[in-house]
Structure 1
Amino acid sequence: MKVKHKISGLVRFILMLIFLVIMYSAAFFITDYIYKILDWELNELLNQIINSIFGLILTGLMLSIIRKIALSKGWMRKRDAFGTIIEAVERIATGDFSIRLDDDDIHEHYPVAKLRESVNKMALELDKMENMRQEFISNVSHEIQSPLTSISGFAEILGNEELSLEERQHYLGIIRIESKRLSRLSDNLLQLASLDAETIKFEPEVYHLDEQVRNLILACEPQWAVKKVEIELVLDKVSITADKDMLTQAWINLINNSIKYTPEGGRIKIELYQESKKVLFKITDTGIGIAEEDQKHIFERFFKTDKSRQRSKKGNGLGLSIVKKIIDMHHGEIEVDSKLGEGTSFTVLLPVKQ
């Protein structure tokens, strides 16, 4: 009887998996068909999220219908293992990702226990994704709301006919600054989305990294010259195989970051060495520094600090996230070392060849 029970349970488990695969395939087919009809083009990450959620809803509805039929026909008990799993999937399909099945819910043999683990893992990952989505929307809304409020407020003030020409120019300057801030946020969001979805083609080529860094420093001269920042370059001749455009963005973000938070008359040192099969890039400034407790979060999206970042320095907290993503795509590493009031060092290690 035990052998027969195990075989029966295994058959049910296999049928359940086949059913789940069919439902998810149907969900992907339906969503792709809808996209074609509506002529929608979504990035890969958003497309996967929508397909997964739709697949869960479709699976939950079908399992609910099958369960009701099975209960009415007496084919299953109300609280058997599969009934508990089906209820969990139904709750997930309605957006309740907090559901977890423990050993007290299911006392079954290996196949069903494995299915329980899979449901728990799926719920946990969806819960994390939902939290990330809510946090992302909250952060973007906050970053957009601040400049929009400024633009709206000063545009209304400009309607006052009694304003002097000097006052009008002042308010127009603020509106231009906030407009550029919105534009930078938009550009950074689009770049991060492209990097996440890997829609940007990774095109490594052999080139001289020292020449690239030197040219970028010269390109940034208007920013560091106006603050009378001293620039020290220690660049060995280094050839690397990498995506030149991507690394250009990474170096620009790091250089601009150092210039932004280095006070007038400060110093920035950039070093470039080759160590065996690794390339070391290091940028050190005498800026305001970053608190030790904040350094582990510095590469998180939208992360800002009140202690180590002056509020007058406008930024959206995405620049270092983009740097981290680009370095990761090159199988490299990036570290930060900083002390408040003393300065910050960013060290990047990259393989010579990809």
Structure 2
Amino acid sequence: MKRLGRAVRGLLGMLGGFSLLSGSWTASYFILKALFKRFGSPSSDYVSQLLGVLLGFMLLFCIGGIISLITYGRQNKFYSPILNAVRRISKGDFTAKVEDVKRYGRMGELVEGINEMASELSRMETMRQDFISNVSHEIQSPLTSIRGFARALRAEDLSRETREHYLDIIEGESTRLSGLSDSLLKLSVLESGSFPFEAKPYRLDRQLRNILLACEPQWMGKGIEVEAELAEMTVTGAEDLLSQVWNNLLHNSIKFTPPGGTITITARPMDTEVEVRVSDTGTGISKEDLPHIFERFYKADKARSAGAGGSGLGLSLVKKIIDLHRGKVSAQSSPGEGTVFVVALPVSLKEGSE
């Protein structure tokens, strides 16, 4: 129906143009005929025809100018909302919107595009403001602790144990601040696409086993039992980046699993991908929080207590790294029943960047 409507409008436009042209030539013919009758005709037929052509064009332009003057007001009223919306968007007002899209006919798609652009820019601006707010909060918190305990250390009557305790807190907050800075930098580099992504085949089961052994002091210190079922398999990817994925997931499980709990890591080959599961018997995540855990700085209330620390960037990095590998990551959890993170990676990877 749209094509038919466009064809009809095009045909009517052609007929209108032809009628205008015919009318101007007809008027030119009768005007010259009247003038020649009154003042006499030129001696040459060529001159007569040339005068007719020139007069016809002059009449055509005059009629066109009159029509333009008549329709200018309507055109200005027609385009004014679009121009106003574009000007407001260019000045940072992303609430601008062109109403009544249907009245713009063939330009409706363009107008819808402008509205969608404004909506997307508004969403990105909100994300930017939230990001700045979250970064400021996450930086301010350890700085406040460092400043407070450094001031407390000035007291001369502090015992050695208290002084050592304060120094441990300052060191821990400094480490947390350094980790936040490192995570922000790495996330920024990954999203900009400038990270040197070198995919190569390597043994995934060996990598997971080495990471488990490196984390042994942490899970042994909490009395957590760790079980591993790692089938022998090879994947193609950036080994250093994927190492950070497994480290983040395992440290999360250790952090939120109470003493005496269990962490299970399984890795098995599928048809065209490999699947890695990291499950624990920890505090779990509520149904309301679960869809948001891969967002920057998001912290589930129950699982992210002040004592647990963390910047809320670890799972964002996990999601970004897995996306770069054309894989998928998901989580299944219920409060009090633990959490299962499932990572699926393609066996072979031709391109590492989006």
Shorter-chain TM band? 0.7 to 0.9
Partners of 1:264 and 1:241 in 2: CA distance: 36
Partners of 2:73 and 2:92 in 1: CA distance: 26
Partners of 2:265 and 2:161 in 1: CA distance: 41
User: Secondary structure at 1:252's aligned position in 2?
Assistant: helix
Q: Which residue of 1 aligns with 2:346?
A: 351
Contact 1:6 1:109 (C-alpha < 8 Å) held by counterparts: no
- Is residue 216 from structure 1 mapped to residue 203 from structure 2 by the alignment? no
- Equivalent of 1:3 in 9, 13, 24: 13
Q: Which residue of 2 aligns with 1:299?
A: 294
Matched to 1:124, the amino acid is S
Q: Which residue of 1 aligns with 2:352?
A: none
Partners of 1:302 and 1:6 in 2: CA distance: 62
Matched to 1:91, the amino acid is R
The within-5 A match list for 1:254-273 is: 254-273=249-268
User: CA shift at 1:288, angstroms?
Assistant: 1.1
CA offsets per residue over residues 247-289 of structure 1, 9 Å max, x none?
A: 1111110011111111122211110100111101011111111
Q: Which has the larger radius of gyration?
A: 2
Contact 2:283 2:302 (C-alpha < 8 Å) held by counterparts: no
User: CA shift at 1:152, angstroms?
Assistant: 1.2
Q: Which residue of 1 aligns with 2:104?
A: 108
The within-5 A match list for 1:167-316 is: 167-316=162-311
CA 1:86–1:312: 2 relative to 1, 3 Å? same
Q: Which residue of 2 aligns with 1:81?
A: 78
User: CA shift at 1:228, angstroms?
Assistant: 1.9
CA 1:280–1:108: 2 relative to 1, 3 Å? closer
**Identity of paired residues, percent?**
49
Contact 1:277 1:352 (C-alpha < 8 Å) held by counterparts: yes
- Is residue 147 from structure 1 mapped to residue 157 from structure 2 by the alignment? no
Contact 2:282 2:337 (C-alpha < 8 Å) held by counterparts: yes
CA 1:74–1:314: 2 relative to 1, 3 Å? farther
User: Secondary structure at 1:107's aligned position in 2?
Assistant: helix
User: Secondary structure at 1:292's aligned position in 2?
Assistant: coil
User: Secondary structure at 1:148's aligned position in 2?
Assistant: helix
Q: Which residue of 1 aligns with 2:331?
A: 336
- Equivalent of 2:317 in 305, 317, 322: 322
TM-score for both structures, normalised by structure 2: 0.76
User: CA shift at 1:4, angstroms?
Assistant: 6.9
CA offsets per residue over residues 58-108 of structure 1, 9 Å max, x none?
A: xxxxxxxxxxxxxxx99953852322211111111221100110227x833
Gap runs ≥5 in structure 2: 1-8, 18-68, 350-354
Contact 1:288 1:309 (C-alpha < 8 Å) held by counterparts: no
CA 1:140–1:6: 2 relative to 1, 3 Å? farther
User: Secondary structure at 2:104's aligned position in 1?
Assistant: coil
User: Secondary structure at 1:248's aligned position in 2?
Assistant: helix
Contact 2:284 2:338 (C-alpha < 8 Å) held by counterparts: yes
Q: Report the number of matched residues.
A: 287
Contact 1:77 1:83 (C-alpha < 8 Å) held by counterparts: no
User: CA shift at 1:194, angstroms?
Assistant: 0.9
User: Secondary structure at 1:108's aligned position in 2?
Assistant: helix
Partners of 1:237 and 1:4 in 2: CA distance: 73
Partners of 1:6 and 1:225 in 2: CA distance: 87
User: Secondary structure at 1:303's aligned position in 2?
Assistant: coil
| Residues 304-313 or 86-95, more deviating | 304-313
Partners of 1:6 and 1:220 in 2: CA distance: 81
CA 1:283–1:84: 2 relative to 1, 3 Å? same
Contact 1:147 1:178 (C-alpha < 8 Å) held by counterparts: yes
User: CA shift at 1:156, angstroms?
Assistant: 1.4
Partners of 1:127 and 1:179 in 2: CA distance: 35
CA RMSD of superposed structures (Å): 2.3
